[in-house]
Amino acid sequence: MTAPDPVRAGRALNGGAAAALVLEGIVVLFVPRGIAQTSPGLTGFRLTVLLVLAVLLILASGLQRRPGGLVIGTALQVPVVLTGLFASVLWLIGGVFALLWLYLLQIRKDLLGSAFGPPRGAGEPPEQQER
């Protein structure tokens, strides 16, 4: 199944990816409060890692219009999942966000023909695009 207007669908899916990254960034900003309750507590290193990760996620949301934006967003899913090293419940939260990201990539692949590339038929005149 492909989208009738792949360019428009690509823009919409990029917006969905950007929204997911902003939401991840906000959730990561809530993590220090939970980590402070654990036995090792919130160290300077942990706080720095989490703040840098939150900033990177929010900045990556702004890059979703660019060709490499999805690759950057996909790469950032790894450190989000690895926040589980700080507190065990974060494995679950990171896993949920990673599954959401994979779902977005799958929808993009189904609608546009490629998970990371430009929409199929985006540079072609309308009469040559596949329908």
- Residue-wise pLDDT tens digits, 12-58: 888 999 999 999 999 999 888 888 887 777 888 989 999 999 999 99
The pLDDT value given to residue 27: 92
Put simply, whether the predicted model's pTM sits higher than 0.85 gets the answer no
Give CA separation, 23 vs 12, 43, 89, 116, in Å: 17, 24, 18, 21
| Residue 46 and residue 86 in contact, taking contact as beta carbons nearer than 8 Å | yes
Give the dihedral of Cα atoms 11, 100, 19, 53; nearest 10 deg. Answer: -120
Give CA separation, 14 vs 41, 63, 93, in Å: 37, 9, 22
pLDDT classification of 131: cutoffs 50, 70, 90 = very low
- In tens, the pLDDT along 71-80 reads 999 999 999 9
Angle CA 85–75–90, to nearest 5: 25
